[in-house]
Chains A and B, each alone.
Chain A
Amino acid sequence: MSLQKLREGLKKGFYLDNLYELARICRSMALDTTSPAPFFIMEYIFLDIVQHWEGKPLLVEDAKLVEAKIMEALEGLIEGLVADAPSEEVFSLLNRIVSDYLIVFP
């Protein structure tokens, strides 16, 4: 598993099968690093979105809205991890993801 796979997975957008796949990639990466927190948090977020959406009709516009609200923050974190950003910056990027996520799903 690699950050590249995660990046490619994100580009596919948010739908149930892909969210499960993204969560699986994150879990695998969390188990394979000494800094698992970002991956663990992303896994939690992907699975939490699944919990909100599974078994219900998902309107295209609702899926796009959630994507629009948190995709930028997720991509920012991944770029930060790729660039091996200092832990303070990673922490700040994580806080942004969580804040954006909590706005969408309070």
Chain B
Amino acid sequence: MNRRKFIQLCSQACIGAALSPGLANAAEPDDKRRLQFMFAQIKYRGGDWNPHPLSVTPLMEELMARTSVEAASARREVTLADNDLFNYPFLYLAGRYEFEPFTADEIETLRRFLTYGGFLLIDDALGQQGYGFDKSVRREMQRIFPGNEFKRLPPGHAALRSYYLLRRIGGVRIVNPNLEGINVGTATPVIYCQNDLGGAWERDQVGKWINTCTPGGEPQRKDAFHLGINVILYAMTENYKEDLIHVPFIRKRLTR
């Protein structure tokens, strides 16, 4: 046994010793745990801000089961006028229909939020390009970042590699096989999915999926969860996966 092998065995033994408290910790209720992540959903005026009320908990459970992030299992509902909005650097904006324009204060708040490190995931539950929710989203984003339009995220974008190496964009339906985003500097603080991610995440009280994913079925739902996790980790680590130390590993795996 060489030194390296010995140290690895010692390390594994140590990991085993550390598992028990970790498992116990995960079973604790939110108020007993130190939460690192809170899924905050924006409530807005008009339209339907809450198309999938039961979508967040399954995603949070998945997040905690797959990653080291300690997340609150329930979502936090916020308005853009809330004083504690900046306590939640990750915001989720979902809907089906057109909604009322944000006020000037709300626009300024969201601009500061997104410019100085906050993140916004937009999820279109209707899936009609140029209509309904999509129309309102594009209008409001133009007000927040005039002249800075949505652009398709390239396949190598850090959000698509922050945890899973994503090749497909999931959701209830595949309206757009790509994600769109708004870039500010080297970051993409706004990511927009038109495939109804929330619908794919949503599960009822007895654990049954509420919406069927078409045409890909369960693998497509899995892709939606993977995307949800990737986007959250991207928000918390930004372009960490573009650091040089990761590049050769990722390239190697993608070429297999």
Are A and B genuine complex partners?
no
